[in-house]
Amino acid sequence: MRRTVQRWGNSLAVRLPAHVAEAFDLVEGTEIDVRHEAGAIVLVPERQERGKYTLKQLVTRITKHNRPGRVDFGRPRGREIW
């Protein structure tokens, strides 16, 4: 897949296709390590340690496709605050 390098302010940028971003769980704000190895540009996403996510990071991953539906638990019984 070919991409074109474009100017972004004083820097250069390459857009990643959506399917590539999804395959690596990249969202806006994901930090990427950029380096060169053996004549190639290598992009490596920084991985969070398990259980070290912030609420903001988790909420950014909610989509209409993974949002759970409402659950009806029936009428209140006992001393619920509803």
Task: Report the distance separating Cα 22 and Cα 40, nearest Å.
Answer: 22
> What is the predicted pLDDT for the residue at 4?
95
Multiple choice CATH, 6-59, 2.10.260.10, 3.30.950.10, 2.60.120.10, 1.10.150.20: 2.10.260.10
Determine the straight-line distance between the first and last CA of the chain, rounded to whole angstroms. Answer: 55
In this predicted structure, what is the pLDDT of residue 49? 63
Name residues of the chain where pLDDT drops below 50: none
Domain ranges of the chain: 6-59
Q: What is the pLDDT of residue 43?
A: 92
Cβ neighbours, 10 Å, residue 57: 13
Report the pLDDT value the prediction gives residue 47, as an integer from 0 to 100.
75
Q: What is the per-residue pLDDT for 82?
A: 59
